[in-house]
Structures are given as structure tokens and as C-alpha cells.
């Protein structure tokens, strides 16, 4: 009997410990929390399936941050019951993932994976600008980040600007600072202080006269010139106003053609960076569901597509692309307006989007037609992920 009681007591204790990894927050949270506490909070609605899917991940995050000794508290709140708190955090869609630090709220809009969210939590929880005090630390950071912004030099007005940009863009990227002697000798900087981005195996220095204000430059430069792109990244790239040239390839096991498409994009990105990097990002995307949703029709894989996320527009090559030369012609055509764009968010397109979304929701196999009424490729099965992504922002 004593054993039985111990077991009950133990499991109660264990449950309490497990539950404490993630605290349930209500409307009194803002009054009861400590001033210096850092919080990672998930707002959910009881009926929301995406929220339920996130539950085990959320629990893991809570337990891992705890065992790592992180200062981040993990909480969740039913936004339909605690409307005051949800309003305070401007929650409009579910699940919403936010962080609170020194009364500033940071919104997470990346993929809802444990790694993605943990990285976000650690980034926000740490210093706004991380100081790299040795070459080893610099190299370690380089090995972990595809894109790395570094302020080089002593305190200056530029540093002030850099720090204030960091406050706004820390949700997207890390900010570092270092003194000149910490950087490898091969990095040559004509003047100090400087803001440098290391990426694509090289580095670029910010110049106000050429690059405009620091925030827009960092916003434009925060992606690698060529990379694997998922729907979240694509959407974030769109916010920079640049176009994205994609090679759409198979989800797994790339065929010979896919590999060729991918490497064509990669070599154009590398060799013609000067000509296109102001206007475009380059990459490849595994699977075509997301793009099929964007163009409202099935896209065959592999293919090339240029997307304009600012207006949901897209461009397809007018002919077959065999050579790098063909691909460059296509890009030039997009930029000089001679390749006709599709999509966009004009009134006609919005009606088409509405009809498309309704069909995808209602019918398993909707017929998809071109703007001129001719059937467009094969019927569709996937759901329209673009829309769900937008709703979650």
C-alpha cells in the first residue's frame, strides 16, 4: 500500500515537473511576470489542428531549454479564453509564437520545428550584438552561420545604427561585432568602422552611398545568394522586394535533370552575382506543392520559375532552357519586361485565387484552367500552402 501511494505521489510530482516546463498563462500574466523574465509563448485555440501538432514540440522545447539552463521561460496561452493577453501580443492567427524580452515582443514566422524555434529563442534571449573576441570564436561562428553580419571597429555612430537595426531584425538573423585584429588577415577593409556580411564564401562591406540605409541593406543581404529554399524562406525573401529564381526539383533523390537544373541556377548565381544580386535571390526548392499553390496549377518537376512574392506574380521560361545562356536570357527578359508575367494580385487574380482556394478545399481533384480557359497541366491534390502561411503571419 505504501508502495502504491509512493507511486501515485511520484507520478503527481513527475506530472507537476513536466507541466512546469510549459506554463499555462492567463490574462494576469503581464502583471505577475518578473521584469527581467524572458518568455517564449505559444498562443493557441482549442480547435486549431496546427496548434495541436505543435504541442509535443512545445513540450520538448520547454524541457530542453530547462535542461540547458536557458533563461527562457516557456508558456502557452489559449487565446480564445485569454483575450486580453492575446490582444496585448497582437495575436490574430493560431498558433502564434512570440517572445517577450524587456517588454519588446518578437514574432516568430519561421518553420514550426523544434530546431527553428529553439534557435529563435536562443537568438532573442542572448545579447543583441554578440561580441567575437578571438579568431577562434569568429571561425566557430562562421562555421555555424551561412550569413553573418559583423560590425568591425570601435564605438561610433554607425555602431549605434547597427544596434538599432539589430533590435528590429534580430528575429531574422544574428548580429556580431569584432575588433579588426580578430578577423582573418585576408579580409581587407579600407576604412573602419565597417559593417561586413560574410556569406557565399566571401564578404561584402556596407557602403551607405551605394547601398542605402543600413536596415534595408541588411534586410536584402540576410540570405545566401544561392540556397535551398523552403516556403517560409521564400516568403521572407519576398519581403525584401527581390525576385527569386528557383529550380524546382524532386522532394528526394534528385534525378539527373533536377541536378542539372539546380547546378545551372547555382552557377548563374555565382558567376553573375554582380548583374543580378540586387534584384534576385537564387535557390532550389524540393517539391512543387508550394509553388503549385502559388501558380494555382501543378508545376512539373524539374522546372525553372521566377517568383515575385511582393505581388504573388511569377514568370516561366518562354522556351526550353538547355544552357546557362538560355537561363540568362530568361532572367534578362523578366527584368526588362519582355517575358510576360503571370499571377499578381490584381482584381482578376484575386477572384481566381478565391475560386481556386474554394475548389482545393471542396474538391479532391479540381480542374485547373489557364487564364484563357484552356486546361492547365494536371489536376491538383495538394492544398494551397501559401495561403495558410500568410494567415499565420
Ligand X SMILES: *[C@@H]1O[C@H](CO)[C@@H](O)[C@H](O)[C@H]1NC(C)=O
Catalytic residue among 51, 124, 132, 236: 51
341 in Cβ contact with 313 (< 8 Å)? yes
CB-wise, 135 or 335, nearer to ligand X?
335
Catalytic residue among 33, 48, 193, 277: 48
Query: What is the nearest approach in angstroms of ligand X to the Cβ of residue 313?
Result: 6
Q: What are phi and psi of 212, to 5 degrees?
A: 80, -160
CB-wise, 122 or 163, nearer to ligand X?
163
223 in Cβ contact with 237 (< 8 Å)? yes
Q: Using CA atoms, how far apart are residues 238 and 275, in angstroms rounded to an integer?
A: 19
Q: Do the strands 194-199 and 226-228 form a parallel or antiparallel pair, or are they unpaired?
A: unpaired
CB-wise, 116 or 333, nearer to ligand X?
333
Query: What is the nearest approach in angstroms of ligand X to the Cβ of residue 157?
Result: 4
Query: What is the nearest approach in angstroms of ligand X to the Cβ of residue 311?
Result: 3
Q: Which three cell numbers stand for residue 163?
A: 544596434
Signed CA dihedral, 369, 371, 373, 375: sign only: negative
Exposed/middle/buried for 329, CB within 10 Å: 0-12, 13-18, 19+?
Answer: middle
Q: What are phi and psi of 131, to 5 degrees?
A: -90, 130
Which 8-state DSSP code applies to residue 299? P
238 in Cβ contact with 283 (< 8 Å)? no
Q: How far apart are the first and last CA of the chain?
A: 54
Sheet of 23-24: strands edge to edge? 23-24, 72-78, 38-44, 96-101, 104-108
Query: What is the nearest approach in angstroms of ligand X to the Cβ of residue 190?
Result: 16
Q: Which helix (H) or strand (E) holds 148?
A: strand 148-152
Q: Which three cell numbers stand for residue 304?
A: 525553372
Beta bridge partners of 133: none
Query: What is the nearest approach in angstroms of ligand X to the Cβ of residue 211?
Result: 11
CB-wise, 108 or 276, nearer to ligand X?
276
Nearest residue (beta carbon) to ligand X: 311
Cβ neighbours of 370 (radius 10 Å): 12
Query: What is the nearest approach in angstroms of ligand X to the Cβ of residue 23?
Result: 40
Query: What is the nearest approach in angstroms of ligand X to the Cβ of residue 158?
Result: 4
Sheet of 194-199: strands edge to edge? 130-132, 175-178, 148-152, 194-199, 202-205
Binding footprint of ligand X on the chain (CB under 6 A): 157-158, 161, 208, 213, 243, 308, 310-311, 313, 334, 341
Q: Using CA atoms, how far apart are residues 317 and 328, in angstroms rounded to an integer?
A: 10
Active site residue 90: no
Active centre residues (catalytic): 48, 51
Amino acid at each position: 500500500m505504501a508502495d502504491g501511494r509512493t507511486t501515485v505521489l511520484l507520478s503527481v510530482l513527475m506530472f507537476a515537473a513536466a507541466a512546469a516546463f510549459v506554463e499555462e498563462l492567463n490574462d494576469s500574466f503581464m502583471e505577475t511576470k518578473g521584469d527581467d523574465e524572458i518568455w517564449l509563448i505559444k498562443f493557441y485555440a482549442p480547435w486549431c489542428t496546427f496548434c495541436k501538432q505543435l504541442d509535443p514540440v512545445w513540450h520538448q522545447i520547454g524541457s530542453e531549454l530547462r535542461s540547458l539552463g536557458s533563461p527562457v521561460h516557456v508558456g502557452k496561452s489559449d487565446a480564445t479564453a485569454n483575450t486580453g493577453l492575446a490582444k496585448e501580443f497582437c495575436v490574430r492567427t493560431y498558433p502564434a509564437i512570440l517572445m517577450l524580452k524587456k517588454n519588446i515582443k518578437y514574432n516568430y514566422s519561421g518553420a514550426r520545428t523544434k530546431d527553428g524555434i529553439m534557435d529563435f529563442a536562443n537568438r532573442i534571449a542572448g545579447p543583441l550584438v554578440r561580441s567575437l573576441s578571438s579568431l577562434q570564436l569568429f571561425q566557430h561562428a562562421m562555421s555555424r552561420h551561412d550569413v553573418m553580419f559583423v560590425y568591425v571597429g570601435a564605438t561610433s555612430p554607425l555602431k549605434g545604427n547597427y544596434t538599432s537595426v539589430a533590435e528590429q531584425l534580430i528575429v531574422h538573423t544574428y548580429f556580431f561585432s569584432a575588433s579588426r585584429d580578430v578577423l582573418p588577415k585576408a579580409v581587407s577593409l579600407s576604412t573602419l568602422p565597417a559593417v561586413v556580411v560574410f556569406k557565399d564564401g566571401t564578404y561584402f562591406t556596407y557602403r551607405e552611398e551605394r547601398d542605402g540605409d543600413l536596415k534595408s541593406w541588411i534586410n536584402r543581404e540576410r540570405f545566401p545568394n544561392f540556397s535551398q529554399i523552403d516556403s517560409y524562406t521564400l516568403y521572407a525573401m519576398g519581403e525584401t522586394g527581390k525576385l527569386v529564381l528557383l529550380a524546382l526539383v524532386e522532394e528526394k533523390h534528385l534525378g539527373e535533370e533536377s541536378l542539372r537544373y539546380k547546378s545551372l541556377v547555382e552557377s548563374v548565381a555565382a558567376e553573375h552575382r554582380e548583374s543580378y544580386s540586387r534584384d534576385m535571390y537564387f535557390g532550389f526548392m524540393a517539391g512543387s506543392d508550394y509553388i503549385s499553390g502559388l501558380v494555382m496549377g501543378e508545376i512539373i518537376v524539374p522546372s525553372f520559375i521566377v517568383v515575385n512574392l511582393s505581388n504573388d506574380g511569377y514568370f516561366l521560361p518562354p522556351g526550353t532552357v538547355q544552357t546557362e545562356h538560355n537561363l540568362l536570357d530568361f532572367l534578362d527578359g523578366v527584368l526588362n519586361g519582355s517575358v510576360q508575367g503571370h499571377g499578381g494580385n490584381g482584381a482578376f487574380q484575386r477572384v481566381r485565387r478565391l475560386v481556386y482556394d474554394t475548389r482545393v478545399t471542396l474538391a479532391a481533384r479540381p480542374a485547373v484552367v489557364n487564364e484563357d480557359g484552356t486546361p492547365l497541366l494536371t489536376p491538383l491534390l495538394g492544398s494551397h500552402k501559401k495561403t495558410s502561411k500568410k494567415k499565420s503571419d
